[in-house]
Amino acid sequence: MQQSENLPKAGSPPFKGQFFSWPKHLLIIGGIILAIAILIGLNIYRINQKEGVPVKVVEVKEAPIKATVYTSGKVTVPQREEIISINGGLIRKVAVKRGEIVSAGQVLVELEDEEQALAVRQAEANLALAQANLNRTLEDTAPNEIARAEDTVRQAQANLENIQQRLERTQSLFEQGIVSRQELEALELEEKLKQSQYDTAVRMLETTPKGVLANRKALEAQVAQAEAALTLAQKRWEQTVLRASRDGQVLQLEVEPSEYVVPGKIVAVVGQTEQLEVKADLSEMEAAQVQVGQEVEITTEAVSKTRYMGEVIEVAPQAITRPTSQGEQTLVPVVIAVKGENALRPGYNVDLSIITGQAEAALVIPFETLIETDEKTEVWVVQDGVAHYREVTTGLTDDLQVQILNGLQVGDSVIINPADDLTEGTEVKINGLEREEKGKNHD
């Protein structure tokens, strides 16, 4: 009864200093739960630690690939003719316009021809005189030789004085920069010819009347000289009229009426624009990949959003050296024929993509996955969370990816930008976002 009296009544607080105690089986259960929680946490920590080095991977896939060499060039006309003024002089008439279609033999430009026409008439007279002298020598007797020889000397002297006057005028024009050295030198040669003819006439007069037969060869030589001079004068006269030698279109027209042209000036260019070509240069390494017959994609800012096709028709057998701002550069010229209808024009600057190889279903990976040395090319492949070193054989390349010929299969996971200290057998952790993107791309 005393014990029951010491117990607190129901609903009343415990005595001061008295502690509440849990049953032992509850404490045991709580300890077990706490131990399990700690064990699970440790296991999760160990698993995370075992996932290893974080990496990004890409999946090997089949895709088309196209290897390309890029360069630029200029559109040209392969069948073109430069019309050159052989003679100097004033332009009398321009018979065509730029862009006009012309036929072979059609007159393009005419030069003033009075001087050339006069030279022809003079050459004809000289030939007639030389032939007459020869004929008289063969027919006449000696007493008349002196008079005829004197006439020959007078005619030769007149010719010499005439050419000397022309040479003096031309020398003055040359010093003023109006005529070219070529034209001056031509007159100097003609003056020497007239001097030779005069000297021959004087010698003939000095030897007359030693006999007609003795002078026969000299007279025949005079006839030959006169014929050559007439042929030259006629040719120069014909060259005052400039004609097209082929059918085509007038691409350039560089002169106007009353303009003075010097010998050797290009006055017009005629070409056939139905077939255009592009001329370009390649570096030595680029040229090693390019062959005749390869397709070429052609673009230009002048015709935006339009791609034309062409074909490599020539790779120069010898490289050339050209000066650049950085020094000399060794280049290999190539020629591309433009295919089909197009809006290109001669002189356009174009960009070229020369297709050196292509495959429709190639195994491809990004360049960032490759580890290249002087002897071999390797990649890191992830299998079951472990990185493995694998040697590969590469093929075609484009701007972003490379073809794998041996060493990988479709679906292999290859590490992108592997760390330098990565070693064989290292446990790795594939980046979750990369894995998700890889799965989306695969789908």
Please tell me the least confidently modeled range out of 15-24, 209-218, 370-379.
Answer: 15-24
Better-scored residue on pLDDT, 167 or 143:
167
pLDDT for position 431? 77
- The band of 76, judged by pLDDT with boundaries at 50, 70 and 90, is very high
Q: Give the whole-angstrom CA distance, residue 275 versus residue 272.
A: 7
* pLDDT tens string 268-281: 999 888 889 999 99
Average pLDDT over residues 139-150: 66
* pLDDT tens string 314-372: 999 999 998 877 788 899 999 999 998 888 988 899 999 999 999 999 999 999 999 98
- The band of 17, judged by pLDDT with boundaries at 50, 70 and 90, is very low
Highest mean pLDDT out of 50-59, 143-152, 199-208, 289-298: 289-298
Q: Give the whole-angstrom CA distance, residue 308 versus residue 298.
A: 5
Average pLDDT over residues 255-269: 90
- The band of 99, judged by pLDDT with boundaries at 50, 70 and 90, is confident
Retrieve residue 163's tokens. 């050419």
Average pLDDT over residues 241-267: 89
* pLDDT tens string 406-420: 999 999 999 999 988
Please tell me the least confidently modeled range out of 17-26, 145-154, 307-316, 432-441.
Answer: 432-441
Q: Do the beta carbons of residue 407 and residue 393 sit within 8 Å?
A: yes
pLDDT for position 2? 45
pLDDT for position 44? 59
pLDDT for position 144? 65
- The band of 19, judged by pLDDT with boundaries at 50, 70 and 90, is very low
- The band of 183, judged by pLDDT with boundaries at 50, 70 and 90, is confident
Q: Do the beta carbons of residue 252 and residue 149 sit within 8 Å?
A: no
pLDDT for position 60? 93
Non-local CB neighbours of 340 within 8 Å, separated by 6+ positions: 308, 309
Query: b/e string for 193-228 if b means 16 or more Cβ within 10 A?
Result: bbeebbebbeebbeebeeebeebeebbeebbebbee
- The band of 403, judged by pLDDT with boundaries at 50, 70 and 90, is very high
* pLDDT tens string 305-316: 789 999 999 999
pLDDT for position 7? 47
pLDDT for position 167? 87
Mean pLDDT of the chain: 83
Q: SS3 helix, strand, coil % of the chain, rounded to 5? A: 35, 35, 30
pLDDT for position 53? 87
Q: Do the beta carbons of residue 71 and residue 280 sit within 8 Å?
A: yes
Average pLDDT over residues 377-401: 92
pTM: 0.55
Retrieve residue 239's tokens. 């060259």
Q: Is the confidence at residue 303, as pLDDT, over 90?
A: no
Q: Give the whole-angstrom CA distance, residue 68 versus residue 298.
A: 12
